[in-house]
Amino acid sequence: MNLRKYILSILWIFCALSPGFAAQKPLARKGVLDLRGNSFSTNIELKGQWRFYWKELLKPSQELQQKGRMVDFPFRWTDYQINGKTLPSFGYASYELQVLLDKNAPALRLQMPDVYSAYHLYINGELALQDGTVSEQAKGFIPHWEVKFLNIKPGTDTLNFMLQIANFAHKKGGMTSSMVLGDKNKVGLERRRIEAIDLLLTGCLIMGGFFFLGLYLLGNRDKAILLFSLYSIVYSYRIIGTDNYVLHTLIPDVSWYLTLRLEYLSLFLGICLFGLYTKALYPEDSSKWFSNSVTAICLSFCTATLLLPPLYFTQLINPFLLVTVLCLVYIPYVYTKAYKKGRPGAVYALASCIALMSVFAISLLNYYLLLPKLQLTSFLGYVAFFFLQSLVLSHRVSFQLKKAREEAELGLIAKSEFLSTMSHEIRTPLNAVIGMSHLLLQKNPREDQRKELDVMLFSANNLLAIVNDILDYNKIEAGKITFEHIEMDLASIARNIVSGLQSAAQDRNIELRLHIDPNLKHKLMGDPTRTSQIITNLVHNAIKFTLEGYVALNICLREQTDTHAKLSVEVKDTGIGISPEKQKLIFERFTQADSSTSRGFGGTGLGLAICKKLLELQQSSLQLVSEPGKGANFFFIQEFEKSTKTVEQQTMENKTPGEADKPFTGISILLVEDNAMNVLVAQNFLQRWGAKVDVAVNGMEAVEKLMPEKHRLILMDLNMPVMDGYEAAVKIRKLGIRTPILALTANLPHEIEERALRSGINDIVVKPFLPDELYRKVLHHINIAE
Ligand code: ADP
C-alpha cells in the first residue's frame, strides 16, 4: 500500500468513527435546502448552494430575491473571484437560503457560529440574530464574535434565511464555520459538552501552570519549570479564548479587538515558550540557532500583533503555520535525541510529544475541513500531553534533588575527611609540645621556668580541647559516635575533675565544692571518657562564667534497684547567669549567650551542644535553670547499670609511677615513628619508666629491626613513609610474631579501629598522649603478654 492510500484510509477510519460524519448529509441545491421528511436524529449543517450578493445588504422581506450567484456555503468571499478578480477583505454581502421543513418537525434550534466579522440574520423578514453591527462602510461597523442560538417557532414549514455579513477589520470576510439546525435539546447539549470540555481543560492548564510557577518562585529556580508554567498559562487562553470561543459566551461584552489580539499573541507566544522550554529542558540536544530563530520570529510576530491593526496581523497566520510545522518536526527530534542519550524524563517527553502531535494533526485536518473536530479525542490528547510533561518536570526536580543530596553527602564526606586530616596535622605537633612540656616540668625546672611551662602546657591543652570539640561535634553529626559500656567509678571521676580544675577556681577566688551521695557505693557501667567530658565541660563553664561565690558539683542517687542506679548530676554556680531567651540558644552549636561577654571568657560555643547531644544519645537530657545575675544550674538525670564491684575494690592499675619508680626496668620496647620530635617525647617517657627503647623510622625498618625474643612491645605510628604502620603490622603477624603492637596515632580511634584490628594491632594510643594513658596501656599489654 503506498503512503497516500495509507493516510487516506486512516482518515477514513477517523471519519467513520466520528458520529454524524459518516451519515449521508442533506445539502442545499440552488438556494433551497429540503429537510422535509428528516427526523433530525443528527444535527444538520446548513451546507450546500446558497445565493450570494456581493456589495449588497438586501432589504429583509418575507420573500426571497432568488437572484444572486450560487456559492458553496459556508463561504468566505476573500477566497472568491468575480470577473477574474479576487474579492477584497473589506466589504459586505448578503447570503440567501430557503429551508423547507415538515410542519410537525420536532422543536428545533439554530446554532449560529462567529463570522468575519459581524452579521445580522433575518428569518422570514424579521431580525432573528445579530452579532456586532453590519454596515456598508467602516464607520458604524462593529465586529464581534460569539456563538449564538435561536429557537425556531414550532409549526414553521419554511425558513427564508437572509444573512448580512460585513467586514472592515479582519483579513478574511464571510463565513468559515457552518450554521447548524437540529433538535432543540441536542443542539444545546452538544454546545454544553463543548463548553464543559474547554472549561475543564482550561482549569487544568491554569492550575498546573500556577502550580509550576509557585514551584519556581518558592524554591526551585529552574528555568525549564518557569517556561513550562508560562506556557501552560498562555496556552490555557487558547483553549477558552479561541476556536469555540467559550470565553466570549461567558463575557459577551468583551472587546473584539482585545480578544483577537490575545488570540494571536497566545499562539505566537505559546510556540515561543514551548521552544524555549524544550531548549531549557535538554540544552545539549537542542540547536541554539534554531531555537533563537524561532524565538526571534515569534517575538516579532507578537510585536506586530500588539502594534498593527487586525487587517495586517491576521495575515501572519499562514507564514506562522510554517514555523509551527517546523517546530512540530524539530521538537520531537530533540526529545528523541534526549531519549536516546538517556536524559532524565526523556521517555515521558517523547510520549507527551506523540500526544501533542495527535492533537495538532487533528486540529490541522479540521482546519482544512478534512476531519470533524473530535473534541474529546483532542481533550484527552491535551491532558496526556500536560500530564506527561508534568512527569518530565517532576522527574527533573527529583533528579536535581537527588543530585543535590549526593553533592551534599560528598561535601559532608569531604568535610569530615578534611577535619580528620586537620586533626591529624594539628595533633601531631601538639603531641610534641604537650609531651615536651610534661617532660620539662618533671626535670625540676626553676620556678620562673615552671610558670612559663605551665602557661605553655595550658595553652596547648586548650588548643587540643578545641580540636577535640570540633572533631567530636563532627563525629556526632555524622552519627559515628559509639559509647563504651565498661566499669567506671563516678565518684572518683568527679573527684579527679574537681581536683583538676581546683587551681583554675582558686585563680578566680571561687570555691569549688563537691558533694557525692554517700549511698553511691557501687561502680557503674558506662562510658567514663564521655561522662567525664560532660561533667568537666559543665564545671569548666561554671568556673569560667562565675566571678565570685562558688561552683558546686553535686552527684545524688535518686533511685536504685539491685541492678540499676538513677543519678542526678548537677553543676551549680553563682555566676553571671543566662537570660531566658538565650537559654534555648546556647545548646545550639557555635552559639554563646552574649558574644561580647563570652568573648571575654573565650570558648567556641560547641561545648554545650556536644554535652546535650552526648546525653541525648544516652537517653538523658541536659537541663538548665538560671536567672541572669543569680547563677546557673545545669543538671541531668541518667540511669546506669550497676557493676558488681564496689568503689573500694580499686585496682592499683591506674597508679602512674612516681619520680623514683622504674617499673619497666629490663623491658625492651621497639618504637616505630618517623617524626623526630615524637620519637623524643615517647622515648623520654619510656626511658624515664626504666624501659630500653629501640627506634625504627618506618614500617620496613621496624620489620627488620624487630627481635621477638628481645622486644616485649611495639609502639607503632600509623602514618609513615616507605611502609605505614598497618602494613608493618600485617607483615609482622604473617611472620608468626605475637609481640603486642600498640598504635600511636593522631587520628581518632573510631576512624581507624576496624582497620587497625584487622591488621593485627592490639590497641590504640591517641596522640597527643597523656603520660598516664601511655603508661597504663604499655603496662597492660606487657602484663598480658607475660
Ligand atoms: P563556650 O563556653 O565554648 O563558649 P558552650 O557551648 O560551653 O561554649 O557555652 C555556650 C554559651 O553558654 C557560653 O558562651 C555562655 O554564654 C553560656 N554559658 C554556658 N555555661 C554558662 C554558665 N555556667 N553561666 C553562664 N553562662 C553560661
In this structure, the answer to whether residues 160 and 76 fall within a common structural domain is yes
Using the 3D structure, point to which of 152, 187, 222 is the last residue of a domain. Answer: 187
Asked if 611 contacts 617 with a C-beta cutoff of 8 angstroms, the reply is: no
Cα of 554 vs centre of ligand 1, distance in Å, is: 19
* pLDDT tens figures, 435-461: 888 888 888 889 888 888 888 887 888
Inter-residue contact 305 to 268 (CB < 8 Å): yes
**The pLDDT of residue 3:** 39
Same domain, 59 and 108: yes
600 and 724 fall within a common domain: no
Binding site membership of 552 for ligand 1 (Cβ less than 6 Å): no
Ligand 1 atom at shortest distance from the alpha carbon of 573: 23
pLDDT > 70? residue 21? no
Amino acid 66: pLDDT: 78
Beta bridge partners of 571: 553, 634
Answer yes or no: do 553 and 617 share one domain.
Answer: yes
CB atoms within 10 A of CB 71: 19
What is the 530 CA–ligand 1 centroid distance (Å)? 19
d(CA 636, CA 506): 26
CATH number of the domain at 177, please: 2.60.120.260
Residues 225 and 80 in one domain: no
Are 181 and 68 found together in one domain? yes
Radius of gyration for the chain, computed over Cα atoms and rounded to the nearest angstrom: 46
- Are both 230 and 91 inside the same structural domain? no
**pLDDT recorded at residue 458:** 78
Is 40 within a domain?
A: yes
Strands (E), 219-332: none
Weakest mean pLDDT among 88-97, 203-212, 592-601, 647-656 = 647-656
Q: Span 510-538, mean pLDDT?
A: 90
Residue 12 reports pLDDT greater than 60: no
On whether residue 505 sits in a domain, the answer given is yes
What is the distance in A from the centroid of ligand 1 to the CA of 635?
14
Q: From the CB of residue 760, how many other CB atoms can be counted at a distance below 10 Å?
A: 17
Quote the pLDDT of residue 661: 65
Domain limit, last residue, from 199, 234, 254: 254
Q: Is residue 456 part of a domain?
A: no
- Whether residue 364 lies inside any domain: the answer is no
Mean pLDDT is lowest, of 15-24, 601-610, 735-744, for 15-24
pLDDT number for residue 658: 53
Mean pLDDT of the chain: 87
pLDDT at residue 647 in the model: 60
Instruction: Tell whether the model's pLDDT for residue 217 goes beyond 70.
Output: yes
Pocket test for ligand 1, best of 462, 510, 540, 598 (most atoms within 8 A of CB): 598
Residues 675, 577 share a domain: no
In a domain, residue 349? The reply is no
Q: Please name the residues in contact with 624: beta carbons below 8 A apart, sequence gap of 6 or more.
A: 578, 583, 632, 633, 634, 635
Same domain, yes or no: 153 and 214: no
Q: What CATH number does residue 697 fall under?
A: 3.40.50.2300
Residue 22 pLDDT greater than 50, yes or no: no
Query: Which CATH number covers residue 620?
Result: 3.30.565.10
61 lies in a domain?
Answer: yes
The residue from 210, 234, 254 where one domain ends is 254
75 located within any domain: yes
Q: Exposure of 373 by Cβ count < 10 A (0-12 exposed, 13-18 middle, 19+ buried)?
A: middle
CA–chain centroid gap for 402, Å, is 8
Mean pLDDT value of segment 710-719: 91
Percent of the chain with pLDDT over 90: 52
CA 54 to chain centre: 64
Q: Averaged over 762-766, what is the pLDDT?
A: 86
Q: Whose CA is nearest to atom 16 of ligand 1?
A: 593
Q: How close is the Cα of 587 to the center of ligand 1, in Å?
A: 9
Cβ of 640 below 6 Å from ligand 1: no
| Cα(496) to centroid(ligand 1), Å | 22
Weakest mean pLDDT among 144-148, 531-535, 603-607? 603-607
**Cα angle: 731, vertex 735, 740; to 5 degrees:** 75
Whether 101 lines ligand 1, by a CB cut-off of 6 Å, is no
- Specify the pLDDT at position 7: 46
- Per-residue pLDDT at 19: 47
Number of domains the chain contains:
4
Angle at 43 between CA 364 and CA 180, to 5 degrees: 70
Does 210 lie in the same domain as 178? no
Asked if residue 53 belongs to a domain, the reply is: yes
- pLDDT given at position 660: 52
**What is the band of 4 on the pLDDT scale with cuts at 50, 70, 90?**
very low
Quick check: helix, strand or coil at residue 28?
A: strand
Range of the domain at 710: 668-785
Find out whether the beta carbon of 611 lies less than 6 Å from any atom of ligand 1. no
pLDDT tens column, 592-625: 666 555 445 556 778 898 999 999 999 999 999 9
Burial of 93 (0-12, 13-18, 19+ CB in 10 A): buried
pLDDT in tens, 161-197: 999 999 999 999 999 999 999 999 999 898 999 999 9
Q: Are residues 567 and 679 in the same domain?
A: no
- Same domain assignment for residues 583 and 497: yes
Region 704-732: mean pLDDT is: 91
Mean pLDDT value across residues 510-517: 91
pLDDT above 50 for 654: no
